[in-house]
């Protein structure tokens, strides 16, 4: 017997993708396993690490806690969609490199997606505010002080 | 840009990691992949008396269920890494009906989709005959087994202790901890034409290749382990985890790639962990602070299925000059998955107790804890009397004290407060980490287009190896940073060392250095034609002749056959035999040092912590950490700083947060997810200041680089505990230090 699927259309980084998915498929698995977009990472699959953070309609969301079917009709932005058309990195991507705000890099896509939301939502008045906002994204390598520096830099530039 | 040694070159892999294009093990696309899921034991010890897979097999999309009945295959000779093999454990799940620990793999399900595999894994029905089990070293039925070969005796420590006027005798506890890299464990296996490709996060691709070759009875060349990036390792991803073998078997039987991503909860038992320890430390001194006896008895958790230990006392014995030293080690076997290496496996737990005791001694003496340490600085290794290859602990303390503002500290307990009424505590501790070395090969290729390509089956766990190893070659060959390419983490590359024991820079770096020198020699020879190459030099992308006339390197290379020069070098530590080197390069564990016949080589550091304790609620915040380290030559101050900083934050986690709780009646780990297992978040960490002192070490290896990766964690737990004592007067002799420990 084969797996029962439902049709799901996802708009990711401005492109529409039509898929047939097991209804239980998370947005995270749809991105990684069905669309081959592995920039979004998996660290727990239950909402505790932040590695899977993407933007849905401009808000930071956990792709592991979002069913793919529920993301239909919404606009999804992932790490792969941040750079400009000519390949210039998003200022937050550049700041993470400039401040060495990463080590193994596994939490990094999720950190960057949260960091962009942190600046957009204005939670950058103090370092403590940045630390608080960014605490949903765990970094086991503990690049935390450098992550704060990168976010502070981008916030100061906007 | 100048990319030579000592320059803070920007992380070479930064762009790939921030754009989502860096491929980690689970990111490699393989057509027609099937997905695996695990069923794990719900009892701790006993036997499987019935296992029924009918319901699981009926789930739509399921292709295969492997159990100890259906595995039914004889594996080649392989064993536990500490017995000379490459496996995480001596015990291989699914090879018998035995259950040795809770959360042991009892079935592997493979299906067309992830969702079907997970559903089916829950429908494997198992009955067990359970037996009494124990997973805590504190359980009454556990016995301590001494490890006599680890004993150290210098002078008569017991007698000196009895006679001394000032002494400390205290026992310190550290719990089990788990690595919890953010990247989950997992493996993808692909068979093609009888050859196996494994994409698994690995800190030891050549060792994994050798082990899998033995298990599957294949030549090493038929196995490829590819892991160019890994999402944190911290020691957990060095050995072959059993599920990798099962995934490879399933893929071979199915004739399809099989991919497994291990759920966070299951990761606590299908891998290794940092075992719990108990340290009794006895220190004695004269009234003037001269230490006359050092004794450290350490008992550490081991597993019934594998005797394993990471003795700290061989390292704590080397911290202070004392004519009398007595060190003892023992293990306590428990019913758990085999413990393993976790960042500073011996040193981090051992130094919590030892450096807390040094602070207790300073308090008993009424002496400044830095002065006490400096007073007892040993001129040579206190155990063997060997000279240090380099030791700058005292300069680290002096610089650290300056950075931290230590001279503003008032020693009386509770004497410092913040304007908002918090109790302020300032503490410090010493850190060290042995500088061992492994043999390594490396290939360096210089081409007419100006590029320099460095290849080595070493690993970048986030440590900076991609950047650092390129700098070693760039330094010799004068190549600008943007033209350097580095390939790591693939067993098809020239053999590299395990990323363990902080050996990569010193070992792989020495091999890269050797290969680059060989390239340089051939380049100068080519430029010299029939002349004397010794009168030619390399500078600014030009080969300069005896007439001071420079020719661009590209022009010289264009005249060489193939338009490039490539050299591969095999490097070994000076004290290692050729046989040992060959064994190591073929994927065996081959370590030399930190103590050789002539020298003792260790990195050293001084660590400081400031804590703010709420006088009523007794909550603790680490508002400031300072670490100054002496690790020989620092190849890249930028990546070294991040690595040391990460280690210090690990130390803060160790002190205040980390504990894998044991459900003692049910003999298992209890808090097995990231909601229950806590480590530092961004908001837990205040200011972190890291510096290194200049140090020249001409002995340790070809490039003078000592261990960086693990020392950062070593002194931090004690520095924080000592700061908490200074703030509150409560001496907490266990980690994590919790609010309830301070309510006293
Ligand atoms: S994978 Fe989604 S929060 Fe961890
Ligand atoms: S960089 Fe490794 S987990 Fe954040």
- B367/B483 same-domain check: no
pLDDT tens sequence across B478-533:
999 999 999 999 999 999 999 999 999 999 999 999 999 999 999 999 999 888 99
**Nearest atom of ligand 1 to the alpha carbon of A50:** 3
CB proximity list for B270: less than 8 A, separation 6 or greater: B38, B40, B103, B105, B185, B241, B242, B243, B262, B337
Q: Is the pLDDT of residue A1 over 80?
A: no
**Together in a domain, A73 and A37:** yes
Residues pairing with B329 in the sheet: B298
B205 with B237, same domain? yes
User: Residues B526, B563: contact at Cβ < 8 Å?
Assistant: no
Residue B47 in contact with residue B99, Cβ under 8 Å?
A: yes
Measured from the CB, is residue B462 less than 6 Å from ligand 2? yes
Residue A102 near ligand 2, beta carbon < 6 Å: yes
Mean pLDDT score of chain B = 97
Please indicate, yes or no, if residue A86 is contained in any of the structural domains.
no
Is the minimum CB–CB distance between B639 and chain A shorter than 8 Å?
yes
Q: Give per-residue burial for B698-728: e unless 16+ CB within 10 Å, then b.
A: ebbbbbbbbbbbbbbbbbbbbbbbbbbbbbb
Q: How confident is the model at residue B316 (pLDDT cuts 50, 70, 90)?
A: very high
Q: What is the ipTM of this complex?
A: 0.98
Q: CB-based contacts of B91: which residues, under 8 Å, 6+ apart?
A: B98, B100, B242, B305, B306, B338
CA distance A20 to A31: 13
Residue appearing with tokens 């991040």: B642
- CATH number of the domain that residue B368 is part of: 3.30.365.10
In a domain, A1, yes or no: no
Residue A42 Cβ contacting ligand 1 at under 6 Å:
yes
CATH number at residue A74: 3.10.20.30
A72 shares a domain with A50: yes
What is each CA distance from B21 to A16, A83, B29, B228, in whole angstroms? 21, 12, 12, 12
CB B283 within 8 A of CB B372: no
Domain boundary, last residue among A81, A110, A132: A81
- The Cα–Cα gap between B56 and B28 comes to 28
Does A130 fall in a domain? Answer: yes
The answer to whether residue B18 is domain-embedded is: no
Which residue puts its alpha carbon closest to atom 3 of ligand 2?
Answer: A139
Q: Are residues B482 and B541 in the same domain?
A: yes
Find all residues with CB under 8 Å of A122, minimum gap 6, and list them.
none
**Structural domain contains residue B144:** no
**Average pLDDT score over chain A:** 97
Quick one: which H or E segment has residue B666? none
Q: Are B145 and B335 in contact (CB under 8 A)?
A: no
Which one of A24, A48, A81 terminates a domain?
A81
A50 and A103 both lie in a single domain: no
Which residues numbered 41-70 in A keep a CB inside 8 Å of some CB on B?
41-46, 48-49, 51
Report the pLDDT value the prediction gives residue A158, as an integer from 0 to 100: 65
Tokens 């084969």 belong to which residue? A2
Looking at the 3D structure of chain B, how many domains does it have?
3
**What token pair was written down for B216?**
């599957």
The token pair at B499 is: 């990323």
Residue A62 resides in a domain? yes
- B617 and B737 assigned to the same domain: yes
Mutation for testing the B interface, residue in A104, A114, A131, A143 having most B CBs under 10 Å: A104
Residues of B in contact with A129 (CB under 8 A): none
Last residue of a domain, one of B585, B620, B650: B585
Of A107, A109, A137, the CB nearest to B20: A109
- The SS3 of residue B257 is coil
Q: Are residues B574 and B542 part of one domain?
A: yes
- Could you give the 3-state DSSP secondary structure of residue A70? helix
Largest CA distance in chain B: 86
Other C-beta atoms within 10 Å of B546: how many? Answer: 12
Average pLDDT score over residue span B108-120: 97
* Domain co-membership, A76 together with A117: no
Q: Which helix (H) or strand (E) holds B444?
A: strand B440-447
Q: Are B403 and B467 part of one and the same domain?
A: no
CA distance A83 to B551: 41
Lookup: tokens for B483: 């033209």
Residue B93 falls inside a structural domain: yes
Q: With a cut of 90, say whether residue B576 has pLDDT above it.
A: yes
B590 prior amide bond cis, ω within 30: no
Q: What is the pTM of this model?
A: 0.98
The answer to whether the CB of A105 is under 6 A from ligand 2 is yes
Q: Is residue B392 part of a domain?
A: yes
- Which ligand is located closest to the Cα atom of residue B650? 2
Instruction: Judge whether residue B659 has pLDDT over 80.
Output: yes
Residue B74 banded pLDDT, cuts 50, 70, 90: confident
* Mean pLDDT, rounded, for B162-181: 98
Tell me: do A60 and A102 sit in the same domain.
Answer: no
Which pLDDT tens digit goes with each residue over B692-738?
999 999 999 989 999 999 999 999 999 999 999 999 999 999 999 99
Inter-chain touch B682–A89, beta carbons under 8 Å: no
Question: Residues B297, B279: contact at Cβ < 8 Å?
Answer: yes
Domain containing A10: what range?
6-81
> Nearest-CA neighbor of B238 among B324, B305, B179?
B179
Same domain, B228 and B121: yes
- Give A49's contacts in chain B (Cβ within 8 Å): 182, 264, 674
Q: Is residue A47 part of a domain?
A: yes
Phi and psi at B513, nearest 5°, equal -60, -45
Mean pLDDT of B668-695: 97
> What is the pLDDT confidence band of residue B270, given thresholds at 50, 70 and 90?
very high
Query: Same domain for B450 and B375?
Result: no
Number of domains forming the structure of chain A: 2
Annotated active-site positions of B, please?
710
pLDDT-derived band of residue B318, with 50, 70 and 90 as boundaries? very high
Among B37, B60, B111, B182, the residue to mutate for chain A (most A Cβ within 10 A): B182
Same domain, yes or no, for B557 and B620?
no
Predicted local confidence at residue A3, as pLDDT:
80
Pairwise CB contact (< 8 Å): B649 & A146: no
The DSSP bridge pattern shows strands B186-192 and B325-334 to be unpaired
* A49 plus A111 within the same structural domain: no
CA of B168 to the centre of ligand 2 (A): 40
Residue from B43, B26, B308 nearest B150 by CA:
B308
Q: Which residues of A touch B183 (CB under 8 A)?
A: 41, 43, 104, 106
Please check whether residues A112 and A69 belong to one and the same domain.
no
Residue B269: DSSP 8-state? T
Task: Give the structural domain span for B718.
Answer: 277-306+318-338+345-435+602-742
DSSP string, B386-407: PPBS---HHHHHHHHHHHHTGG
Nearest CB among B182, B679, B683 relative to A131 is that of: B683
User: CB count, 10 Å around CB of B21?
Assistant: 13
Residue B527: the pLDDT is 94
The pLDDT value given to residue B530: 86
Same domain, B302 and B356: yes
CATH of the domain at A146: 1.10.150.120
Q: What average pLDDT does the segment B638-648 reach? A: 98
- The answer as to whether B154 is a domain residue is no
> Is B744's pLDDT higher than 90?
no
Looking at A24, A52, A81, which one is the last position of a domain?
Answer: A81
Average pLDDT on A92-103 reads: 98
pLDDT in tens, B190-237: 999 999 999 999 999 999 999 999 999 999 999 999 999 999 999 999
| 3-class SS of residue B292 | strand
From the list A3, A96, A139, which residue is nearest B18 (CB)? A96
User: Are A69 and A96 in the same domain?
Assistant: no
Q: Which residue has the tokens 């995934």?
A: B247
Of the pLDDT bands very low, low, confident and very high (cuts 50, 70, 90), residue B539 is confident
- Is B443 found in the same domain as B368? no
Same domain, B219 and B115: yes
Is the pLDDT at B540 greater than 90, yes or no? no
Closest CB to B180: pick one of A104, A140, A144. Answer: A140
Rg over CA atoms, chain B: 27
Domain ends where: B556, B585, B614? B585
**Residues A35, A60: one domain?**
yes
């Amino acid at each position: 017997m084969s797996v029962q699927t439902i049709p799901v259309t996802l708009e990711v980084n401005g492109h529409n993708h039509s898929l047939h998915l097991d209804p239980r498929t998370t947005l995270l698995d749809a991105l990684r396993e069905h669309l081959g977009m592995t920039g979004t990472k998996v660290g727990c699959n239950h909402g505790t690490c932040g590695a899977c953070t993407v933007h849905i309609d401009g808000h930071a969301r956990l792709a592991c806690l979002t069913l793919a079917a529920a993301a239909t009709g919404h606009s999804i932005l992932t790490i792969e969609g941040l750079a400009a058309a000519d390949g210039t990195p998003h200022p937050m991507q550049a700041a993470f490199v400039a401040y060495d705000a990463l080590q193994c890099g596994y939490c990094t896509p999720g950190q960057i997606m949260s960091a962009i939301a942190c600046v957009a939502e204005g939670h950058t008045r103090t370092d403590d505010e940045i630390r608080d906002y960014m605490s949903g994204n765990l970094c086991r390598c503990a690049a935390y002080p450098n992550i704060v520096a990168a976010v502070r830099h981008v916030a100061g530039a906007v | 840009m100048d990319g030579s040694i000592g320059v803070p070159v920007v992380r070479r892999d930064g762009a790939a990691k921030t754009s989502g294009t860096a491929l980690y093990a689970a990111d490699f696309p393989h057509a027609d992949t099937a997905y695996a899921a695990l069923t794990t034991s719900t009892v701790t010890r006993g036997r499987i008396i019935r296992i029924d897979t009918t319901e699981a097999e009926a789930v739509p999309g399921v292709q295969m269920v492997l159990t100890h009945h259906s595995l039914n295959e004889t594996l080649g000779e392989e064993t536990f890494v500490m017995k000379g093999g490459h496996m995480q454990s001596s015990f291989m799940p699914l090879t018998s009906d035995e259950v040795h620990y809770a959360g042991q793999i009892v079935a592997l399900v493979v299906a067309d989709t992830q969702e079907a595999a997970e559903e089916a894994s829950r429908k494997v029905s198992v009955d067990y005959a359970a037996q009494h089990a124990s997973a805590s070293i504190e359980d009454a039925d556990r016995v301590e087994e001494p490890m006599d070969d680890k004993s150290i005796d210098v002078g008569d420590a017991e007698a000196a202790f009895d006679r001394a006027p000032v002494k400390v005798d205290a026992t310190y506890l550290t719990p089990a901890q788990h690595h919890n890299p953010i990247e989950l464990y997992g493996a993808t296996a692909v068979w093609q034409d009888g050859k196996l490709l494994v994409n698994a996060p690995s800190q030891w691709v050549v060792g994994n290749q050798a082990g899998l070759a033995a298990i599957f009875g294949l030549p090493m060349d038929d196995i490829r382990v590819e892991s160019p990036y890994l999402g944190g390792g911290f020691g957990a991803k060095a050995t072959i985890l059993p599920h990798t073998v099962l995934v490879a078997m399933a893929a071979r039987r199915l004739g399809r790639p099989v991919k497994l991503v291990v759920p966070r909860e299951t990761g606590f038992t299908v891998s290794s962990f940092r075992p719990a320890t108990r340290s009794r430390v006895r220190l004695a001194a004269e009234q003037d602070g001269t230490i006359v006896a050092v004794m450290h008895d350490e008992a550490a958790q081991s597993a019934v299925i594998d005797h394993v230990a990471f003795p700290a006392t061989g390292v704590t014995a080397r911290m202070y000059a004392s004519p009398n030293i007595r060190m003892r080690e023992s293990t306590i076997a428990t019913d758990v998955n085999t413990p393993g290496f976790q960042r500073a496996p011996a040193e981090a737990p051992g130094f919590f107790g030892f450096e807390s005791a040094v602070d207790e001694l300073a308090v008993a003496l009424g002496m400044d804890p830095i002065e006490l340490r400096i007073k007892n600085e040993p001129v040579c290794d206190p155990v063997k009397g060997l000279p240090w290859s380099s030791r700058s602990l005292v300069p680290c303390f002096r610089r650290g004290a300056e950075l931290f503002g230590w001279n503003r500290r008032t020693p009386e307990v509770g004497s410092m407060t913040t304007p908002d009424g918090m109790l302020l505590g300032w503490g410090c501790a010493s850190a060290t980490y042995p500088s061992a070395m492994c043999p390594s090969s490396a290939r360096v290729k210089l081409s007419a287009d100006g590029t320099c390509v460095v290849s080595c089956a070493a690993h970048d766990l986030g440590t900076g190896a991609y950047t650092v190893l390129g700098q070693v070659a760039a330094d010799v060959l004068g190549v600008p940073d943007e033209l350097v390419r580095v390939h790591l983490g693939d067993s098809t590359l020239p053999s590299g060392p395990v990323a363990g024991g902080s050996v990569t820079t010193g070992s792989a770096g020495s091999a890269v250095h050797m290969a680059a020198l060989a390239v340089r020699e051939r380049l100068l020879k080519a430029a010299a034609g029939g002349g004397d190459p010794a009168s030619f030099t390399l500078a600014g992308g030009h080969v300069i002749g005896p007439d001071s006339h420079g020719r661009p390197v590209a022009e010289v290379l264009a005249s060489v056959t193939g338009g490039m020069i490539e050299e591969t070098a095999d490097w070994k530590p000076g004290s290692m035999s050729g046989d040992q080197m060959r064994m190591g390069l073929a994927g065996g564990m081959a370590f030399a040092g930190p103590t050789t016949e002539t020298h003792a080589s260790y990195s050293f550091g001084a660590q400081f912590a400031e804590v703010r304790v709420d006088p009523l609620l007794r909550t603790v915040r680490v508002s400031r950490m300072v670490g100054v380290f002496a690790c020989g030559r620092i190849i890249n101050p930028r990546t070294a700083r991040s690595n040391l900083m990460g280690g210090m934050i690990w130390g803060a986690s160790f002190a205040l947060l980390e504990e894998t709780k044991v459900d003692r009646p049910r003999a298992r780990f209890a808090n097995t997810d990231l909601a229950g297992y806590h480590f530092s978040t961004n908001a837990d960490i205040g200011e972190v200041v890291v510096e290194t002192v200049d140090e020249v070490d001409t002995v340790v290896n070809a490039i003078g680089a000592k261990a960086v990766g693990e020392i950062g964690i070593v002194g931090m737990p004690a520095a924080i505990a000592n700061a908490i004592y200074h703030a509150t007067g409560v001496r907490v002799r266990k980690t994590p230090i919790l609010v309830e420990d301070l309510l006293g």
